[in-house]
């Protein structure tokens, strides 16, 4: 038999957790043991964060499909389910609009994240994004990444919930298991097309 007060409580807790951990430039949450930052940083320092045999040439994010396609030699190698910004329609225009940017970018940095396990920073805002925002007198926003799951979902128990919702502040979110694969498949400079 269902315990409706418990269901409502857990649903509210999950919603609040997603809201509190939405993608941003500030890492304010407690680091989970699962998110071994020292191990990740050592891997980056020793250049052990890339496997040529598993590499991809470019990434395409299809917002309407809520899918990420990983390509090698112009062939799809993998298809990953994703979550987007809370306001998924249209391209990012300014900070705080909760939209995922659209256009052609590239991976410009790998980041060991205490908040989202691991993140791949993309090259937003581009010069054209800055100019459009300046014309409106607003900030274009920053710190847009492809990242994994918040610490409360480190073991993946909430993947079904997170993948059924758009909950970031503009980033593209994938599962931690998918990030483990993607992390070693890309290096800085890999193109990312979001459309």
- Enter the pTM of the model: 0.82
Q: How many CB atoms lie within 10 A of CB 118?
A: 23
CA 35 – CA 15 distance, rounded (Å): 22
Cis peptide before 94 (omega within 30 of 0): no
What was the pLDDT predicted at 128?
A: 97
Half-sphere exposure of 134 (CA within 13 A, CB side): 7
Q: CA distances (Å), 130 to each of 23, 42, 93, 94, 194, in order?
A: 20, 34, 9, 9, 18
What was the pLDDT predicted at 35?
A: 76
Report the candidate in 195, 173, 181, 174 with the shortest Cα–Cα distance to residue 53.
Answer: 181
CA 47 – CA 131 distance, rounded (Å): 35
pLDDT tens for each residue of the chain, 195 residues long: 545 444 444 454 444 444 444 454 443 334 445 578 889 999 999 998 999 999 999 999 999 999 999 999 999 999 999 999 999 999 999 999 999 999 999 999 999 988 999 999 999 999 999 999 999 999 999 999 999 999 999 999 999 999 999 999 999 999 999 999 999 999 999 999 999
- Domains in the chain (CATH in brackets) are 4-194 (2.40.440.10)
């Amino acid at each position: 038999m269902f315990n409706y007060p418990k269901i409502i409580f857990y649903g509210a807790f999950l919603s609040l957790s997603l809201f509190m951990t939405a993608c941003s430039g500030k890492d304010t949450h407690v680091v989970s043991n699962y998110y071994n930052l020292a191990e990740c940083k050592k891997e980056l320092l020793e250049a052990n964060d890339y496997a040529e045999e598993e590499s991809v040439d470019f990434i395409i994010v299809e917002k309407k499909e809520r899918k990420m396609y990983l390509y090698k030699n112009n062939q799809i190698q993998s298809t990953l389910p994703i979550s987007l910004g809370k306001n998924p329609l249209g391209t990012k225009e300014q900070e705080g609009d909760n939209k995922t940017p659209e256009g052609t970018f590239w991976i410009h940095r790998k980041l060991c994240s205490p908040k989202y396990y691991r993140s791949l920073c993309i090259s937003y805002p581009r010069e054209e994004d800055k100019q459009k925002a300046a014309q409106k007198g607003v900030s274009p926003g920053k710190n847009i990444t492809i990242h994994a799951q918040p610490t409360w979902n480190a073991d993946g128990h909430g993947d079904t919930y997170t993948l059924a919702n758009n909950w970031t502040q503009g980033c593209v979110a994938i599962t931690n298991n998918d990030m483990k694969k993607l992390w070693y498949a890309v290096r800085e400079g890999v193109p990312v097309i979001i459309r």
